[in-house]
């Protein structure tokens, strides 16, 4: 078989990947030690921060899988050039499953439904929980469902990685049909599993509150996190070969457009949820917002409106801004921070009526992030940055026509 790639450039990741990975590991280990020490002193506070960190990093990992599957469905150079970045993030899912285990030890500390019913003083809540804690919100059910979610996610990740690896060697067959065959159902599975996981892990913190759009809100947030993360990594890699030759302004432009799209989608979902609940003003629904708009939490909410939506939206309207990765990266970093803040605003007001930030809200997400990034960069270094024998790779390796 003759090869189309006359000049076969070195596609392995630059050594900087290893350096960053090692540094992340150091940060991760140091903060983990602090977190463990803190956990022994204030276990309840620790678990709250833990759930926050878990949801934040889960968003990047799972969102990357979603974007990857989207790329397999639609094609396009924008996705090819960051395909291996998203793949490396997706392959942290076994680690995320491992990180999930400690939550099981904190269930009664986090979730009111996991506590004995007698201990609940609020009469209405106890009445409400009487039924649901027998049917859906049970500890066994919670564990069983988590096993199903992680099994599905890891199975998808396994298949996508396996076929992608085949494309690093010559002589393989065209896998694009297989990728499609898995990604279509995969996206449906992702949509359903993340919705129910969001209900289990976050929405059930306030078991009497419901919002049918909540799953989609979490989904949009995850995809946004993943795109921003990919932009940050591509910015690091673009200083070195081979990314410096692969990443064209058109692709960066597409990434910027995706950021804009999901900033808008997120805001649209948030606004819809808020307007409907505000207008309905039902006691079981509005309480969720009452908590989040009073006692200082409202400032965070307002901050999110301005800096998770309005400012990024205006910036992302500019075409030159979207095409320049060295500028776009700053907004991407900022939006990752905003994603963290949004999750913070969703989770923490359940535990306190007034705005409180604990040591765990900062330390645990950093600890988790350090370890997660170390694993991510190890994954990134373990495979070439482009599957050279994928038919779409040609487009990336060709010099720009402009």
Partner 1 sequence: MSPDGLEKTAVEARPPVLAPGHTYASITDKISSIVLLQKTKRGWWFGFAVAFTLFMVLNFAVGYLMLMGVGIWGINIPIAWGFAIVNFVWWIGIGHAGTLISAFLLLMRQAWRQSINRFAEAMTLFAVASAGMFPLLHMGRPWLFYWLMPYPDTMGTWPQFRSPLVWDVFAVSTYGTISLLFWFVGLLPDLATLRDRASNRLAQITYGFLAMGWRGSARHWQRYEMAYLLLAGLATPLVVSVHTVVSFDFTIAVVPGWHSTIFPPYFVAGAIYSGFAMVLTLAIPLRQFYGLEDFITLRHLENMAKILLATGLIVAYGYVMETFMAFYSGSTYDRSMIMNRMTGPYAPVYWLLITGNIAIPLTALWSAKIRRNVAALFVISLIVQMGMWLERFVIVVTSLHRDFMPSAWGMYYPTIWDWATFAGSIGLFLTLFFLFIRFLPMISIFEMRGLVHQVKEEKA
Count of residues that bind partner 1 according to CB under 8 A: 40
- Residue 46 CA neighbour count, 13 Å, CB half: 20
Nearest to 372, CA basis, from 14, 12, 27:
27
- Distances from the Cα of 194 to the Cαs of 11, 221, 257, 277, 328, in angstroms? 33, 11, 24, 22, 28
Answer yes or no whether residue 211 interacts with partner 1 by CB under 8 A: yes
- Candidates 82, 103, 216, 331; binder of partner 1 (CB under 8 A) is 216
- Candidates 122, 174, 250, 398; binder of partner 1 (CB under 8 A) is 174
What does the alpha-carbon distance between residue 331 and residue 155 come to, in Å, rounded to a whole number? Answer: 33
Which residue, 85 or 304, has its beta carbon nearer to partner 1?
Answer: 304
Q: How far is the CB of 375 from partner 1 (least distance, A)?
A: 32
Cβ atoms of 186 and 156 within 8 Å: the answer is yes
Q: How far is the CB of 282 from partner 1 (least distance, A)?
A: 6
Q: How far is the CB of 299 from partner 1 (least distance, A)?
A: 24
User: Where does residue 171 fall: left (phi above 0), alpha (psi -120 to 50 degrees), or beta otherwise?
Assistant: left
What does the alpha-carbon distance between residue 339 and residue 316 come to, in Å, rounded to a whole number? Answer: 17
- Residue 78 CA neighbour count, 13 Å, CB half: 19
Output b/e per residue, 200-223; b: 16+ Cβ within 10 A: bbbbbbbbbbebeebbbbbbbbbb
Beta strands in 179-335 (DSSP E): none
Q: How far is the CB of 304 from partner 1 (least distance, A)?
A: 17
Site for partner 1 in 336-355 (CB under 8 A): none
Q: How far is the CB of 280 from partner 1 (least distance, A)?
A: 5
Cβ atoms of 300 and 354 within 8 Å: the answer is no
Residues 309-328, mask of contacts with partner 1 (x by CB under 8 A): --------------------
Site for partner 1 in 266-305 (CB under 8 A): 268-269, 272-273, 275-277, 279-282, 284
Q: How far is the CB of 129 from partner 1 (least distance, A)?
A: 9
Contacts of 182 (CB under 8 A, 6+ apart): 69, 72, 156, 159, 160
Choose the stretch contacting partner 1; rule: CB under 8 A; options: 124-132, 238-246, 346-354, 364-372.
Answer: 124-132
- Reduce the DSSP state of residue 127 to 3 states and report it: helix
Site for partner 1 in 381-400 (CB under 8 A): 389, 391
Residues 130-159, mask of contacts with partner 1 (x by CB under 8 A): -xx---x-----------------------
Q: How far is the CB of 73 from partner 1 (least distance, A)?
A: 9
Which residue, 133 or 379, has its beta carbon nearer to partner 1?
Answer: 133
Nearest to 196, CA basis, from 182, 181, 216, 225:
216
Choose the stretch contacting partner 1; rule: CB under 8 A; options: 55-63, 127-135, 144-152, 318-326.
Answer: 127-135
Nearest to 332, CA basis, from 82, 9, 31:
82
Q: How far is the CB of 326 from partner 1 (least distance, A)?
A: 26
Which residue, 236 or 277, has its beta carbon nearer to partner 1?
Answer: 277
Choose the stretch contacting partner 1; rule: CB under 8 A; options: 171-179, 231-239, 339-347, 362-370.
Answer: 171-179
Report phi then psi at 5, rounded to 5.
-90, 90
Q: How far is the CB of 6 from partner 1 (least distance, A)?
A: 11
Which residue, 159 or 286, has its beta carbon nearer to partner 1?
Answer: 286
Q: How far is the CB of 111 from partner 1 (least distance, A)?
A: 14
Report phi then psi at 282, rounded to 5.
-85, 140
Residues 250-269, mask of contacts with partner 1 (x by CB under 8 A): ------------------xx
What does the alpha-carbon distance between residue 333 and residue 229 come to, in Å, rounded to a whole number? Answer: 8
Residues 183-202, mask of contacts with partner 1 (x by CB under 8 A): -----x--xx--x---x---
What does the alpha-carbon distance between residue 148 and residue 182 come to, in Å, rounded to a whole number? Answer: 18
Nearest to 75, CA basis, from 393, 397, 399:
393
- Reduce the DSSP state of residue 402 to 3 states and report it: coil
Q: How far is the CB of 1 from partner 1 (least distance, A)?
A: 5
**Binding residues vs partner 1 (CB under 8 A):** 1-4, 128, 131-132, 136, 173-174, 176-177, 180, 188, 191-192, 195, 199, 208, 210-216, 268-269, 272-273, 275-277, 279-282, 284, 389, 391
């Amino acid at each position: 078989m003759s090869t189309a790639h006359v000049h076969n450039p070195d596609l392995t990741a630059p050594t900087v990947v290893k350096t960053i990975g090692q540094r992340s590991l150091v940060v991760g280990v140091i903060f983990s030690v602090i977190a463990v020490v803190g956990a022994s002193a204030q276990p309840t506070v620790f678990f709250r921060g833990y759930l926050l960190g878990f949801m934040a990093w889960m968003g990047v990992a799972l969102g990357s899988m979603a974007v990857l599957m989207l790329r397999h469905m639609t094609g396009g150079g924008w996705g090819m050039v960051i395909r291996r970045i998203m793949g490396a993030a997706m392959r942290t899912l076994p680690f995320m499953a491992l990180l999930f285990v400690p939550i099981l030890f904190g269930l009664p500390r986090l979730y009111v439904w996991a506590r004995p019913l007698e201990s609940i003083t609020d009469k209405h809540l106890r009445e409400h929980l009487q039924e649901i804690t027998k049917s859906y919100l049970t500890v066994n059910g919670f564990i069983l469902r988590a096993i199903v979610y992680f099994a599905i996610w890891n199975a998808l990740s396994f298949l996508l990685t396996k076929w992608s690896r085949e494309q690093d060697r010559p002589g393989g067959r065209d896998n694009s049909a297989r990728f499609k065959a898995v990604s279509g159902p995969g996206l449906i599975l992702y949509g359903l599993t993340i919705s129910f996981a969001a209900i289990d892990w976050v929405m059930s913190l306030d078991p009497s509150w419901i919002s049918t759009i909540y799953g989609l809100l979490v989904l949009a947030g995850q995809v946004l996190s993943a795109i921003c993360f990919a932009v940050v990594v591509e910015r690091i890699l673009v200083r070195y070969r081979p990314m410096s030759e692969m990443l064209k302004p058109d692709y960066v432009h597409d990434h910027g457009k995706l950021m804009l799209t999901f900033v808008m989608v997120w805001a649209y979902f948030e606004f819809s949820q808020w307007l409907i609940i505000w207008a309905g003003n039902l006691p079981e629904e509005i309480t969720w917002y009452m908590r989040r708009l009073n006692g200082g939490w409202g400032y965070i909410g307002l901050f999110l409106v301005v800096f998770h939506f309005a400012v990024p939206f205006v910036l992302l309207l500019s075409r030159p801004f979207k095409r320049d990765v060295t500028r776009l990266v700053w907004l991407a970093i900022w939006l990752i921070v905003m994603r963290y803040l949004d999750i913070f605003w969703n989770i923490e007001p359940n535990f306190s009526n007034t705005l409180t930030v604990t040591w765990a809200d900062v330390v645990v997400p950093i600890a988790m992030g350090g370890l997660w990034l170390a694993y991510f960069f190890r994954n990134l270094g373990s495979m070439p940055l482009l599957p050279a024998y994928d038919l779409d790779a040609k487009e990336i390796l060709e010099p720009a026509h402009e």
